[in-house]
Structure 1
Amino acid sequence: MTISRNITAGILSSSIFLAAVGLLWLPARGNPGQLDVCPANRAGFKAPKRNVWAGISEHEANDVYDFLVKEWADLNVTRTPRTAYENFIFTVEALSPNKSDVLPFLWEDSKEPERWAKVVLSRNTEEKPQLIYHAVGPLPVSEATQVVPLTHPFSSGRNYVTNLMADFVGSLDFSLALAENVSDITTELLDAKVNRKNPYDPNSLQVFPRFTRQEPGLLIAWIQFFRPGMGSSGRTLLPQGIYVRVDATSANVSDWVVGDWFYNGVMYANVDEFRRAMRSPDFLKTPPNVDGPWTDTEDFDAKPDGRQLPPPVSIQPYGPRYKLDKAEGYMSWFGFEFYLTSTQATGVSLFDVRFKGERVMYELSLQEALAHYAGDDPMAGGQEFLDTFFGMGTNAFELLPGYDCPGYADYLNTKLHRGGKTETLPNNICVFEFTSDHLLSRHTAQYSVTASRNTYLTVRSVSTVGNYDYTIDYIFYLDGAIEVKVRASGYIYGAFYANNPNKNEDEYGHRIHDALSSSMHDHVISFKADLDIAGSANDLVRLALEPTVISYPWDQPYVKERNTMHLKEYPVTEEAGLEWPKNSGEFYIVYSSDQKNAWGEKKGYRVVSGTGMGNTPHLSILNSTTLGNSARWAEKDIWVVRQKDIEPRGADPLNYLEPLEPLIDFTTIANSESLAHGDTDSEYDGDLVIYFNVGSHHIPHSGDIPNTLMHTSSSSVMFVPHNFADRDPSRESVQGVRLQLKGKKSGGFAGWDPEGDEPNEELRSRGKDKNGGKYEMHEGANYFGTPYAEDVQLPLAALEPDLPKEYRSEEIRVSDLGLNGSAAGVWMRNP
């Protein structure tokens, strides 16, 4: 039976559903009259207060642009640059308010914090082009609005960095001209040359630089050749083995100086020396790295058994069970409540996360995404990326319904204000509830079997930064647990495989094609969790499981001493970096300093390396030559520091341009300040922040060709309630069944004999609900929550969304991991 698109307006009955995809919803049995499938009432759902972290609207951005053009008239500032050397307003977005201003608004009904914009000015001078942060506010723009240098978030005391490459187009022209001048070399060694008239020529070469700040007054670019043309996504699988070093210190591209050349393990002082060596009879030539079907991500022709049938899919027949206020970015789901927003550098952030009305987190947000390579060639040997520079939010593009997210997910848009224009990124955040393939809990007893479905809520975005796609999930579980999970896919950034006597085989990766090495690298992705466990006053402890030898009186006289284990608590008393403990021998727990549960235990949340390929990593490289002080947060797994308004972030996207003297040096944040509090003389009130890393030590192999697979590159950190509640909170919300195998009365409770008389009053009382009523247990299926009790009807779009109609983007602007698309190279040939 064939189902075509022309019936999508109709409804599929369960019989058609069964014939089409081999699935059938069985009606629930044994609970007549229990079905209640009214969708959650979301029409009137509103956030309790305004989202003070929300992004700048297009109207606000236009007002800020107009204000600044007048305010900076002496600089001849333009909204949208027409040349590379104009002064222009690069970005406008919201400046996140101080926590000290927000908490009184949230919890004491104080006035709403002032709204300010954060602006990056691209100021170009002949000597020192700069990118400069300013704050504009209060908003809306009025006579009281002012523009001031934004300095308080930066440990450097500066609000600017030197722009490595103000003239991206100029650098591209320089590289292409250089390649044209050596077309005889590239034709001989690579059987290809650049095509400036048609950059999409599949037989043409590309050229890209890797810039390194060797010292404050020296900027070096290593330029490497790639193929094929600009139309290929597989460029990073196709590096070629020719490299040239350029002194790019001057802000004027015309003053750059071409230096050494590197080929097949040999350095040549200049191009003439390189040419002479090529004419030598003992010159060793390496094969070029050539494109072909091996870089294609799809195989439309293969027909293995089973591919002719569509796979199972998740559906949501009766609508969502969560509530969403899209206007304010506010959500509610089974006790969880939170706000969400998105920024250009870091993408989606969550704020004011509460569970069952209690405070859990003030902020949960991405800070930076680092990829650091190693290798024996000039490109891979020191290559690193700090991806917020290119924009994890700027490059969070539209999601594919039915693939990135279930077809029934809710979608939100974000807006970018750059170069005088507003760009809408449609449907680039999705929200959905999902039921796992494994249960939340289960138990088999003598006369019953109980199973609880594991459903969870996910907020998802995908950031495509050059060659890699990062799927970022914030996941919420029914017991109050929160998980941050990142999965990576896309093309690896390979290295040219030069088979020569100087090469150390497999020291930096594996050979994975004719002339391609896998190029080992670390992914270290930093997040911030500003925990407020039942309030802002918190403590971090290491709860250790330690072996011990102890004598017990009840062992005597047979066992004098017993080898066993016990718990020992070690308070973390000062700011520090921690690593995941050996053998999982310690629990890292953030406790409330003063709030306890019903049993007198401090309310807490455990911080634990979560689900994925293994423990989350920190950077393997010690004192990275390339990174300098720009990413010291990557040197440990977890950090605990004081919360300070002047330290809102652990990294800044412009650190990428000044790694030796970054705007934010994390060592000035985690600088061993005391975490002791409670004394009247202490200025610290116990408000702490956790920075944590996810990622992987990636040693790509043949299975990463053509694309890395998400299930082999996922990692996460979880925040798990630890004595936070009096008992498991999921019991109130979970959906499941108790299959009573024997007994027809009110039995099924612990200690009840189904063959005996009516249970005693103590056991009977355990079956009463809060209103004094009583659920009558019976043989068969006893459901907690509402089961499916009738045939399900759904449109075809619920199984397979109509992507040509639903996907709004016609062309996607992507970054090439050069300076294009970043703050340094926003100016294009056709703005």
Structure 2
Amino acid sequence: MVAKTSLTALVATAIHCVTARPDPNLYRRAISKFNEIRTCGLSDAAPTVKAPKVNPWAQITPDDVTAVWELVHSSEAGLNLTHPDNATLTDNYVYFIDTLPTNKSAILPYIDGDAELPAKYARVVIFEGGKDEPVSQEYMVGPLPVGSETSVAKLDYIFNGGKGGAVPFNGRNFDGKRSRASEPLLKSIMEEIADITVALFDGAYYGSGDERTNISAGSPTPVSYDGTQAFRNIMFRYPGAATYLVPIDLYVMLDITGTDASKYFLKGIVTNERFFRTTTDLRAAYDAGELKSEFPQTREQEWALVKNQPEMGVRDLEDRLAPQSVELGGKRYKYDKEQQYVEFMGWSFYLSFTRTLGLAFYDIRFKGERVLYELSLQEAAAQYAGYQPKAANTVYHDTYYSFGTYAATLVEGYDCPFGSTLLNISFPEGDREEVHPAGLCIFEQDSGYPLARHRTGGSSDFGFSNLGTVKGSALHLRAVYTVGNYDYMFDYAFHLDGSIETEVRASGYLQSSPYYKSQGRFGPRISQGTQGSYHDHILNFKADFDILDTKNSLQVTELVVVNQTQPWYEELGTFEQMEFNTTVMETEKQFNWAANGQAMYSVVNNDQTNAWGEKRGYRIIPGKSNIHLSIANSPWTRKQSGMLKSHLAVTKQHDTETYSNSWQNINMPEAPQHDFLKFFDGESVDDEDIVLWFNLGMHHFTRAEDIPVTLFTEAVSSIMFAPQNFNDRAQEGDLRNRRWVEVDEEGGLTYEDYGIELPTCQVQLEEPVTKIEPWASI
């Protein structure tokens, strides 16, 4: 459409959209539906599309889960299993069932050729406490569905620590059964000193199920160094919704080595920055009046709840609904629910989900050409600092807790825009499938800036002769995982220009410590008796690039400063100049971003060039807060956290190096089940199938503004993969959402809208419904 109008009239063209404010109680699909009164398309479901092939990365089915459970419990399997509900430390029982990732070498002939769909296998973790040498052992069960050809075999090939899928008992997951085994010892110790804890902290612990107990016990990981011993360093808090923010200054350290709980013993008690080896030593100090609370803790926790706090006051006009992002023109992405396949503005990809890692992307293509084979989280880690057993000892690997199972229900209009496509998250739990409603959302969102813009000068009253501006937006896939005290928001954005952005934000309660003036070097005082313990958040990702095919290289373009002369500047003599020095990384390597950003890292295909003869590739661009772990040689992260200790790493792809970490690594810092550092054995990464591993994260310099919870605004980290000569020109020329404005000879404006008119519509949000609908699951 071409129209002639004034600039004022052009700007005044508007969208009329009236929205009724929804009920705030939107949790668990008490989430607003939409009643469209025309033509916004706000309530439209995503158009359907048929995936080109069956998703080879999909989860095993609920029927498969049940059949695998029955098979491993059968006498034919010979595993001598006890049902987990009835098991003890010295029994064999299933800990979890998950989907075993299919090898890339098996999938490529299928996804790119005419090979048959590869067989699926289940991953089964069994705690074998009934063996002479008790271990945790992983098994692979398949092919699925269960039939005459299905077998149960040890899953060893994806682990390089020397023991395959086995982990010693002392290094295995500290599950409820291990906690219950050490409970009698803890109870006896705390009963013996109950009068002291009541006097000092107005609290006592008589066991987790005793009604007299009014303080809660928790312990960090790791619980072992190498699996030959085990310990439990217990801290205490006041119970409640915000328990992480009200710690008390009491720590009990236990030795819990082995399966015989009668041999467990007290290692010591810590309070007042002092270590007491026995309860007798503690009592002597108490009787001498040497113990006190420097900053007594509060039990009251109302101040720490994430709800409106009247004492904070009122901001003018805050009673109005905040601005909303809505897909006014209707959804522009397509979704195949059955195959978990998405298409958007030239992008296409498959989705996958596991209980261990959560959401992952496969076969990511732009305009039909593959960019990435896989983009997935590998680990969400945190390491703390402090002068007491809990903070000094705490390192979390959240895959240890089955990270994917904590995908939380999303609140429409707040966690995701109104009108988002909401998908259930499902995963195996025991012999069945568990479903978390609305655990993933998909939406297209205005970028908040144009994709491209330029005006040329002129002598008109408007100050230009022509102006072009292109609408910017991106498709987002978002999930929030609430693991204990933290909510991690993962947002993957597919931009119109062919760029992919990965962003992580962190919110939630700090794992805090009791405050002492002498310990200010570990964090500030943030509440009455609470210190915000400094810590690192590191999130490790895998990006298996296949730029057009599996022969890629990592090109390093350094910006160097050289002294040179140029004959047309004879009067300057020698002067400094910038130039490029381009090399290729030859062998596997861990490395960091260059100082001052003076290097560009690009994954390129040496055999594929664009129209100008430049190697086609994708650039790796650091975003906000690209960090690595601060500590290089901590006893708690010495060998099992190697993937966290550099910004980036590149390796040659192997089916045996599927993951950078093992979910069971956390308790084995000296002898990991899977050692990322062993990936680096001198193999070539030039013209090979290469994998980039990268870290996002935050150095969490805690502050009073972390109360009640850390804010998403500043606790954020991101990275972008952007075309680098992948195309012949910028990918904005085939998008019609743009305006071309010219000043004509008469001083008026002529503009082209390319048939994309601004809609006039009215939208009414209905009352929320409480029935959970059978949405698509992933």
TM-score, normalization: structure 1? 0.83
Partner of 1:306: 317
Amino acid at match of 2:730: D
Partner of 2:459: none
Alpha-carbon distance, 1:75 to partner? 3.5
Amino acid at match of 2:635: T
In the alignment, the residues of structure 2 paired with residue 206 and residue 494 of structure 1 have an alpha-carbon distance, to the nearest angstrom, of 14
In the alignment, the residues of structure 1 paired with residue 730 and residue 416 of structure 2 have an alpha-carbon distance, to the nearest angstrom, of 29
Amino acid at match of 1:570: T
Partner of 1:320: 331
Contact 1:358 1:534 (8 Å CA) reproduced? yes
Residue 509, structure 1, aligned to residue 513, structure 2 = no
TM-aligned CA distance change 1:138 to 1:215, over 3 Å: closer
Partner of 2:621: 608
Partner of 1:26: none
In the alignment, the residues of structure 2 paired with residue 540 and residue 396 of structure 1 have an alpha-carbon distance, to the nearest angstrom, of 34
Contact 1:226 1:235 (8 Å CA) reproduced? yes
Partner of 1:17: 18
TM-aligned CA distance change 1:739 to 1:180, over 3 Å: farther
Alpha-carbon distance, 1:74 to partner? 3.8
Partner of 1:294: 303
Partner of 1:742: 744
Partner of 1:271: 279
Contact 1:350 1:364 (8 Å CA) reproduced? yes
SS in 2 for 1:154: coil
SS in 2 for 1:507: helix
Residue 794, structure 1, aligned to residue 763, structure 2 = yes
Amino acid at match of 2:564: I
Residue 780, structure 1, aligned to residue 746, structure 2 = no
Alpha-carbon distance, 1:742 to partner? 2.5
Residue 330, structure 1, aligned to residue 347, structure 2 = no
Partner of 2:165: 159
Give matches, 1:103-142, under 5 Å.
103-125=108-130, 128-142=133-147
Alpha-carbon distance, 1:92 to partner? 1.9
**Deviation per residue, 1:515-540 (Å, 9 max, x gap):** 21111111111000000112111110
In the alignment, the residues of structure 2 paired with residue 785 and residue 494 of structure 1 have an alpha-carbon distance, to the nearest angstrom, of 57
In the alignment, the residues of structure 1 paired with residue 745 and residue 134 of structure 2 have an alpha-carbon distance, to the nearest angstrom, of 82
**Deviation per residue, 1:165-197 (Å, 9 max, x gap):** 343333345434533332111101001223658
SS in 2 for 1:726: coil
In the alignment, the residues of structure 1 paired with residue 399 and residue 420 of structure 2 have an alpha-carbon distance, to the nearest angstrom, of 27
Alpha-carbon distance, 1:198 to partner? 6.6
**Deviation per residue, 1:184-242 (Å, 9 max, x gap):** 111010012236587799x91001223532454222221111112xxx23111111101
Partner of 1:522: 536
Alpha-carbon distance, 1:460 to partner? 0.9
Alpha-carbon distance, 1:273 to partner? 1.3
TM-aligned CA distance change 1:112 to 1:197, over 3 Å: closer
TM-aligned CA distance change 1:152 to 1:303, over 3 Å: same
TM-aligned CA distance change 1:783 to 1:175, over 3 Å: farther
In the alignment, the residues of structure 2 paired with residue 380 and residue 283 of structure 1 have an alpha-carbon distance, to the nearest angstrom, of 21
Alpha-carbon distance, 1:90 to partner? 2.2
- Once the two structures are overlaid, the 10-residue window that deviates more, 42-51 or 99-108, is 42-51
Partner of 1:147: 152
Give matches, 1:88-487, under 5 Å.
88-125=93-130, 128-157=133-162, 158-162=164-168, 163=172, 165=174, 166-172=177-183, 174-194=185-205, 204-210=214-220, 211-228=222-239, 232-292=240-300, 293-301=302-310, 302-445=313-456, 446-487=464-505
Contact 2:190 2:206 (8 Å CA) reproduced? no
Partner of 1:708: 710
In the alignment, the residues of structure 2 paired with residue 320 and residue 112 of structure 1 have an alpha-carbon distance, to the nearest angstrom, of 31
TM-aligned CA distance change 1:806 to 1:59, over 3 Å: closer
Partner of 1:577: 590
Partner of 2:694: 692
In the alignment, the residues of structure 1 paired with residue 544 and residue 661 of structure 2 have an alpha-carbon distance, to the nearest angstrom, of 15
SS in 2 for 1:731: coil
Contact 1:353 1:360 (8 Å CA) reproduced? yes
In the alignment, the residues of structure 1 paired with residue 347 and residue 359 of structure 2 have an alpha-carbon distance, to the nearest angstrom, of 17
Partner of 2:562: 548
Partner of 1:633: 643
**Deviation per residue, 1:693-728 (Å, 9 max, x gap):** 000111111110110001111001110110000001
TM-aligned CA distance change 1:41 to 1:546, over 3 Å: same
Amino acid at match of 2:481: S
**Deviation per residue, 1:566-602 (Å, 9 max, x gap):** 1110211111111111111000111112111011000
SS in 2 for 1:473: strand
SS in 2 for 1:732: coil
TM-aligned CA distance change 1:286 to 1:644, over 3 Å: same
In the alignment, the residues of structure 1 paired with residue 173 and residue 40 of structure 2 have an alpha-carbon distance, to the nearest angstrom, of 62
Contact 2:183 2:207 (8 Å CA) reproduced? no
Residue 663, structure 1, aligned to residue 673, structure 2 = yes
In the alignment, the residues of structure 2 paired with residue 134 and residue 488 of structure 1 have an alpha-carbon distance, to the nearest angstrom, of 34
Residue 46, structure 1, aligned to residue 55, structure 2 = no
In the alignment, the residues of structure 1 paired with residue 705 and residue 88 of structure 2 have an alpha-carbon distance, to the nearest angstrom, of 42
TM-aligned CA distance change 1:205 to 1:39, over 3 Å: closer
Give matches, 1:483-494, under 5 Å.
483-494=501-512
In the alignment, the residues of structure 2 paired with residue 199 and residue 320 of structure 1 have an alpha-carbon distance, to the nearest angstrom, of 54
SS in 1 for 2:406: coil
In structure 2, the gaps of 5 or more residues are 1-13, 23-38, 457-463
Contact 2:16 2:761 (8 Å CA) reproduced? no
Contact 1:81 1:87 (8 Å CA) reproduced? no
Match of 2:60 among 30, 53, 56: 56
In the alignment, the residues of structure 2 paired with residue 18 and residue 89 of structure 1 have an alpha-carbon distance, to the nearest angstrom, of 50
**Deviation per residue, 1:408-454 (Å, 9 max, x gap):** 11122232223323211222111111002222222232212322221
SS in 1 for 2:693: strand
Partner of 2:11: none
- Once the two structures are overlaid, the 10-residue window that deviates more, 481-490 or 181-190, is 181-190
In the alignment, the residues of structure 2 paired with residue 139 and residue 435 of structure 1 have an alpha-carbon distance, to the nearest angstrom, of 43
SS in 2 for 1:372: strand
Alpha-carbon distance, 1:55 to partner? 0.5
In the alignment, the residues of structure 1 paired with residue 19 and residue 69 of structure 2 have an alpha-carbon distance, to the nearest angstrom, of 57
In the alignment, the residues of structure 2 paired with residue 111 and residue 532 of structure 1 have an alpha-carbon distance, to the nearest angstrom, of 21
Amino acid at match of 1:701: R
In the alignment, the residues of structure 2 paired with residue 403 and residue 129 of structure 1 have an alpha-carbon distance, to the nearest angstrom, of 47
In the alignment, the residues of structure 1 paired with residue 593 and residue 738 of structure 2 have an alpha-carbon distance, to the nearest angstrom, of 35
Alpha-carbon distance, 1:137 to partner? 1.0
In the alignment, the residues of structure 2 paired with residue 261 and residue 19 of structure 1 have an alpha-carbon distance, to the nearest angstrom, of 58
Alpha-carbon distance, 1:299 to partner? 2.2
Contact 1:161 1:657 (8 Å CA) reproduced? no
Contact 2:591 2:649 (8 Å CA) reproduced? yes
TM-aligned CA distance change 1:126 to 1:208, over 3 Å: farther
SS in 1 for 2:713: helix
Contact 2:225 2:668 (8 Å CA) reproduced? no
In the alignment, the residues of structure 1 paired with residue 297 and residue 630 of structure 2 have an alpha-carbon distance, to the nearest angstrom, of 29
TM-aligned CA distance change 1:449 to 1:139, over 3 Å: same
TM-score, normalization: structure 2? 0.89
Amino acid at match of 1:731: G
Amino acid at match of 2:381: L
In the alignment, the residues of structure 1 paired with residue 713 and residue 188 of structure 2 have an alpha-carbon distance, to the nearest angstrom, of 43
TM-aligned CA distance change 1:236 to 1:40, over 3 Å: closer
- Once the two structures are overlaid, the 10-residue window that deviates more, 261-270 or 67-76, is 67-76
In the alignment, the residues of structure 1 paired with residue 193 and residue 133 of structure 2 have an alpha-carbon distance, to the nearest angstrom, of 31
Contact 2:77 2:152 (8 Å CA) reproduced? no
Amino acid at match of 1:294: W
Higher relative contact order (CA 8 A, sep 6+): 2
Contact 1:400 1:803 (8 Å CA) reproduced? no
The percent identity for this pair of structures is 31
In the alignment, the residues of structure 2 paired with residue 72 and residue 261 of structure 1 have an alpha-carbon distance, to the nearest angstrom, of 49
SS in 2 for 1:362: strand
Aligned alpha-carbon RMSD (Å):
2.7
Aligned length, in residue pairs: 728
In the alignment, the residues of structure 1 paired with residue 19 and residue 304 of structure 2 have an alpha-carbon distance, to the nearest angstrom, of 38
Amino acid at match of 1:337: S
